[in-house]
Structure 1
């Protein structure tokens, strides 16, 4: 559970490498970082909720 923060970190690093490879300026690629962080936050929230709902008492 504590390692879920690695998902957006790894995706942001991958997106940064793609931007460097295709020489995309940071100003144009910034929206990709917003999407990565937003979708990752949703995924982490959903997975956390499911863990709490399905935890045995």
Structure 2
């Protein structure tokens, strides 16, 4: 599951791009959404990486 986490931003960006195209919104105008998707995906990846680190540590 953890190794497939890279698909999260790919799928979300593809869905955002399809939404923009369906509503005839230029990519330049929807660029901020891509940044939000990347930030959200990095947060999720960081959270899961932290959880793996915490659960595998020798405390």
Unaligned runs of 5+ in 1: none
Unaligned runs of 5+ in 2: none
Please report the TM-score for the alignment, with normalisation by the length of structure 2: 0.88
Aligned residues: 57
Please report the TM-score for the alignment, with normalisation by the length of structure 1: 0.91
**Runs of 4+ off more than 4 Å:** none
Q: How does 1:28-47 map to 2 (within 5 A)?
A: 28-47=29-48
Question: After superposition, what is the alpha-carbon deviation per residue over 1:8-57, rounded to whole angstroms, capped at 9, x for unaligned?
Answer: 00000000000000011111000000000011101111111101211376
Equivalent position SS for 2:30 = helix
